[in-house]
Structure 1
Amino acid sequence: MSHSVQAAPPMPAPAEPPRFRRSLSSRVLGRPEVGALVAAILIFVFFLIAAPAFRSAESFFTVLYQSSTIGIVAVGVGLLMIGGEFDLSAGVITTTAGLVNSMFCWYFGVNLWVGALLSLAFCLLIGFVNGYLVMRTGIPSFLITLGTFFVLQGANLGVTKLVSGSVSSPDISQIQGYDSLGKIFASSFKVGPVTVWITVLWWALFVALAAWLLQRTRTGNWVYAVGGAAASARAVGVPVVRTKIGLFMGVSFLGWFVGMHTLYRFNTLQAGNGVGNEFLYIIAAVVGGTLLTGGFGNAVGVAIGAFIFGMTSLGIVYAGWDPNWFKAFLGVMLLLAVLVNLYIKRMATSRRLS
């Protein structure tokens, strides 16, 4: 008796696992600088309407100059915050840089180039010591650099008064090297009726270099890694100590740069200047999308944050309002930025895990 054997029905092909395709809007909303860009556009349009003097090209480039004096150091502070640390001495070190240059050359009668290089070495040493102490002692960078802040603030005032008899440095415009250094750090040029300060170009260059460093180099990966999870980064071979010390030295270098600009633009410095600017750098970084917890942010966002600072500080003046409201605005912007950044970080993280 023959039995017919029926062929088993073919097995259905395994279902292809669903693939998550990120839309253009998802990619855009996941970028740290998006919130700052939207805020910058809204603030810019607002002041165009509220302040007629804000509408000229001259006013716009004045805003860029004001932004650059904060934005240059904010680039370094932003990278350091992405790396998970703070530097509260970043504001006062700009004055220290200028005072070391001017007081040394005035007292000893040497070329200003010698003083500028000495000042650079001194500032880099401060950055190195800050980073070394943070990494070797385990004390939070907030406390280490707060101590550095007070040391530098006191030394600026005490040494300046001891050497010059006042709390301001002497006029250095007649010392050799002044003109050449002024061209590098404090020159300007005309584009039609508009005056463009060289710090605006330097700012753009530093932002571009920082963006390239973060996005295109292994060092940039290390910065994000040490800021997000330093212990895990160390376990996979990331040089945590070297990376963080380098970030502190980067802040000191950019602080030195702005100190040189201030000195060679105004010829003299007040020893008490710079106090409080460290908070402006941090605010620019946070408004630009940098998280206070580290591991998230980028250089373009920090630049937008600095631009918002310059735009608002001058826009209030152009509108004829009481400038005392400016700090109230900064506080509101900081709180809003923290909330927006946290939301964007959570949204970006959830999309990566989807």
Structure 2
Amino acid sequence: MIPATGQVAAPGLARRRPGLRLRALLGRPEVGALAAAIVIFLFFLLVAPSFRSAASFLTVLYQSSTIGIVAVGVGLLMIGGEFDLSAGVVPVSAGLVNSMFCWYFGVNLWVGAVLSLVFCLLVGFLNGWLVMRTGIPSFLITLGTFFVLQGANLGVTKLVTGSVSSRDISAIDGFGSLQKVFASSFAAGSATVWITVLWWVLFVGLAAWTLQRTRIGNWIYAVGGSAESARAVGVPVVRTKIGLFMTVSFLGWFVGMHSLYRFNTLQAGNGVGNEFLYIIAAVVGGTLLTGGFGNALGAAIGAFIFGTTSLGIVYAGWDPNWFKAFLGVMLLLAVLVNTYVKRLSTAVSPREGGLT
């Protein structure tokens, strides 16, 4: 066999090629998560008869999308070597800024939505800027932001409305058009497809394309692998990381808009703990906690596992309190598998992996 280089391949190397291809496949971040997702989905198909319908599957996709949209941004940020613990409460803050501003001042909801977007992007910018400016780990910076937002959500909401929930905004101008964008649905036979599922697919596809096909994707992997080495070869480390924090906040704003325009009102104390679900989805999907490894598809599969399990337990009639125990087990297994996959992927040398 004559390789593309024109050199004759050694017989021993030719025999090893199938093994190299298998190792390269297993070294992809999302392969382990995909296998787990298939096993879990088939398991609930067997044990929960009510799980075996198109309506149930689309409900799983909807549940997955509400976590998966933000998990895409969190996964990108983790590939870039950082964390954002404020991601859980940003959606609630986004919805509250929109609803309370428009309810109190009586203005069109589109004005509040734009104001809310600016607010969320500012939160992301400040998170990234403080991390890069001070050198303090993002875990601590965003933990502080988490508490600030959580307290402000409760305190300001009670100050404005007299309770810990926002007012019903369904009668305010702009509600109908915003609901179509963020919280509409359509029938697919006897099932309902929520627009968040379509947005989720779009965001995953855009993130995957960015990581694999653009210079920005190379920058994200580079700053996650080694920020100093990336800076030495001309990568704009500060801009890249700030952009990643702002991406998380943007996607948090999007989910906040969905929650507001689906339910018309929000509870100010919601969102606490969701930041861990986003991180778990990314880690289960193959993203390393140390940065520099992972992809958007893996984070999407991790979110699908979350949706499948959270609803599968309900459809099976089990005690839902076991769900958190399952998440803990999945996280531990994912960390072990991801570490092994990383070692496996680096075990294939560039010279061996390049043989075709």
Give the TM-score band, short-chain normalised.
Answer: over 0.9
* SS of residue paired to 1:328: helix
The question of 1:25 aligning with 2:22 is answered yes
Which of 30, 39, 43 is matched with 1:42 structurally? 39
Which of 73, 96, 100 is matched with 2:97 structurally? 100
Which residue identity is paired with 2:226?
A
1:76 corresponds in structure 2 to 73
What is the TM-score when the length of structure 1 is the normalising length?
A: 0.94
The runs of 5 or more residues in structure 2 that have no matched partner are 1-6
Which residue identity is paired with 1:200?
V
Deviation string for 1:200-229 (max 9, x for gaps)? 000000000000000000000000000001
* SS of residue paired to 1:243: helix
1:150 corresponds in structure 2 to 147
2:347 corresponds in structure 1 to 350
Q: Distance in 1 between matches of 2:8 and 2:85?
A: 56
Deviation string for 1:59-91 (max 9, x for gaps)? 000000000000000000000000000000001
Q: Could you say what the CA RMSD is over the residues aligned between the two structures, in angstroms?
A: 1.4
Offset of 1:21 from its aligned partner?
4.2
2:3 corresponds in structure 1 to none
Which residue identity is paired with 1:49?
L
2:204 corresponds in structure 1 to 207
Which residue identity is paired with 2:50?
A
1:260 corresponds in structure 2 to 257
1:317 corresponds in structure 2 to 314
Q: Distance in 2 between matches of 1:21 and 1:219?
A: 32
Q: Distance in 2 between matches of 1:73 and 1:352?
A: 35
Q: Is the 8 A contact 2:103 2:169 kept in 1?
A: yes
Which residue identity is paired with 1:262?
S
Which of 293, 296, 302 is matched with 1:296 structurally? 293
Q: Is the 8 A contact 2:58 2:192 kept in 1?
A: yes
The runs of 5 or more residues in structure 1 that have no matched partner are 1-13
1:8 corresponds in structure 2 to none
Q: Distance in 1 between matches of 2:280 and 2:152?
A: 26
What is the TM-score when the length of structure 2 is the normalising length?
A: 0.94
Q: Distance in 2 between matches of 1:99 and 1:349?
A: 46
Deviation string for 1:154-192 (max 9, x for gaps)? 000000000000000000000000000000000000011
The question of 1:177 aligning with 2:174 is answered yes
Which of 110, 119, 141 is matched with 1:122 structurally? 119
Offset of 1:15 from its aligned partner?
9.8
Offset of 1:30 from its aligned partner?
1.1
The question of 1:224 aligning with 2:224 is answered no
Which residue identity is paired with 1:231?
E
Deviation string for 1:244-272 (max 9, x for gaps)? 00000000000000000000000000000
Which residue identity is paired with 1:251?
V
Offset of 1:27 from its aligned partner?
2.4
The question of 1:279 aligning with 2:285 is answered no
Q: Distance in 2 between matches of 1:348 and 1:269?
A: 45
1:3 corresponds in structure 2 to none
For the pair shown, which has the larger CA radius of gyration, 1 or 2?
A: 1
* SS of residue paired to 1:290: coil
Which residue identity is paired with 1:96?
S
Q: Is the 8 A contact 2:24 2:348 kept in 1?
A: no
Q: Distance in 2 between matches of 1:15 and 1:33?
A: 34
* SS of residue paired to 2:187: strand
Deviation string for 1:97-120 (max 9, x for gaps)? 000000000000000000000000
Q: After the TM superposition, which residues 53-72 of structure 1 pair with which residues of structure 2 at under 5 Å, given as runs?
A: 53-72=50-69
* SS of residue paired to 2:166: coil
1:335 corresponds in structure 2 to 332
Change in Cα spacing, 1:162 to 1:228, as seen in structure 2 (3 Å) is: same
Q: Distance in 2 between matches of 1:16 and 1:70?
A: 48
Which residue identity is paired with 1:345?
K
Q: Percent identity?
A: 81
Q: Distance in 2 between matches of 1:197 and 1:351?
A: 42
Q: After the TM superposition, which residues 135-146 of structure 1 pair with which residues of structure 2 at under 5 Å, given as runs?
A: 135-146=132-143
Q: Distance in 2 between matches of 1:342 and 1:38?
A: 16
**After TM superposition, where is structure 1 displaced by more than 2 Å over at least 4 residues in a row?**
14-24
Offset of 1:352 from its aligned partner?
3.0
